[in-house]
């Protein structure tokens, strides 16, 4: 069955997801946090209660999305287009959520279809909303039915130097740690599989690059305080190779910042970023 544009508005079955302190610690190390971020990488440091990186939301959120309603597409021709998170409270080190997802948009780009989803998660311990995740998938070869092309507006970055720039260098084995948070796609670990996709070596998970970017925003604009991190949204624009350096550039206006991430060659790997904070 081809892509089904009538699926917009469909809601999935509520799903539950739990996590432990160890899951949150492993994620933090997987996105490059280390000895200068012990509140996120340890649970037993004196006078330092464990906190959870806000971008951990992409690991535990996103459940309940009705993928069975949108039709079929070739997963080998699908790439992650955009990702967003919104935090209503701090993520606890241990917890359980119930998530309900829905299809928010299906667009015809001619040569591809874009599928958009969002999922809202409730903290079962408190009964209150904890987070919302939104994402889009770009499915090559699935467009052409004459549907709505979707929004086309783009962020215009200020014509001045960024207010802040932070550079992190990923490890050559970064993907081997990050994959333990759940994404075991061999594209990120098996050289022979990566070669089938046209890559000289395995590439880094896009959401790992996103996590590095989120750390830069958190540490620079929120003073490392997760309670001040409110929302983050951006577009994936180019793969990252483990070992690459990532520079996050930020333009701040009040409690909002525009951002993008480039590699050591100046190529933009994350674009169209909007971040809100307290």
Q: Which of 71, 108, 188, 273 is catalytic?
A: 188
Q: Quote the pLDDT of residue 1.
A: 54
Q: What tens digit of pLDDT does each residue of 103-138 get?
A: 999 999 999 999 999 999 999 999 999 999 999 999
Catalytic residue among 183, 224, 241, 243: 183
pLDDT tens for each residue of 191-202: 998 998 889 999
Q: What is the CATH number of domain 14-140?
A: 3.10.129.10
Task: Please tell me the total number of residues recorded for the chain in this structure.
Answer: 278
**From the candidates 3, 59, 60, 203, which is the catalytic residue?**
203
Q: Mark whether 206 is an active-site residue.
A: yes
Domain limits, the chain: 14-140, 164-277
Q: Answer yes or no: 164 catalytic.
A: no
Average pLDDT for residues 165-170, to the nearest whole number?
98
The pLDDT assigned to 153 comes to: 87
Same fold for the pair 14-140 and 164-277: yes
- Residue pLDDT, tens place only, 216-271: 999 999 999 999 999 999 999 999 999 999 999 999 999 999 999 999 999 999 99
A 10 A CB-CB count for 268 gives: 14
Give residue 119's Cα distance to chain centre: 13
Q: Is 148 a catalytic residue?
A: no
- CA dihedral for 208, 59, 33, 185, sign (positive or negative): negative
Verdict on whether the full-model pTM lies above 0.85: yes
Task: Indicate if 183 belongs to the active site.
Answer: yes
CATH architecture type of domain 164-277:
Roll (3.10)
Strand order in the sheet with 78-87: 15-19, 95-108, 112-123, 128-140, 78-87, 229-236, 268-277, 256-263, 245-253, 164-169
CA distances from 8 to 75, 109, 117, 118, 145 (A): 20, 16, 9, 11, 15
């Amino acid at each position: 069955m081809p892509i089904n544009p009538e699926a917009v508005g469909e809601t999935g079955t509520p799903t539950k997801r739990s996590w432990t302190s160890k899951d949150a610690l492993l994620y933090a190390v997987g996105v490059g946090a280390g000895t200068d971020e012990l509140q996120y990488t340890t649970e037993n440091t004196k006078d330092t209660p464990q906190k959870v990186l806000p971008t951990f939301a992409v690991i535990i959120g996103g459940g309940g999305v009705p993928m069975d309603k949108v039709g079929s597409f070739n997963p080998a021709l699908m790439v992650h287009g955009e990702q967003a998170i919104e935090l209503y409270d701090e993520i606890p080190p241990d917890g359980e959520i119930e998530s309900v997802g829905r299809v928010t948009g299906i667009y015809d780009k001619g040569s591809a279809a874009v599928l958009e989803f969002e999922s809202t998660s409730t903290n079962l311990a408190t009964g209150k909303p904890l987070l919302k995740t939104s994402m889009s998938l770009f499915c090559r070869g699935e467009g052409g039915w004459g549907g709505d092309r979707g929004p086309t507006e783009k962020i215009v970055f200020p014509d001045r130097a960024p207010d802040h720039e932070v550079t992190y260098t990923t490890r050559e084995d970064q993907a081997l740690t990050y994959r333990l948070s759940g994404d075991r796609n061999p594209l990120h670990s098996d050289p022979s599989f990566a070669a089938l996709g046209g890559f000289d070596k395995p590439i880094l998970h896009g959401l790992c690059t996103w996590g590095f970017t989120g750390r830069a925003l958190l540490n620079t604009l929120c003073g490392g305080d997760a309670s001040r991190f409110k929302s983050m949204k951006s577009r994936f624009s180019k793969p990252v190779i483990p070992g690459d350096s990532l520079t996050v550039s930020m333009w701040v206006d009040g409690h909002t910042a525009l951002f993008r991430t480039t590699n050591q060659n100046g190529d933009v790997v994350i674009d169209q970023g909007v971040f809100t904070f307290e």
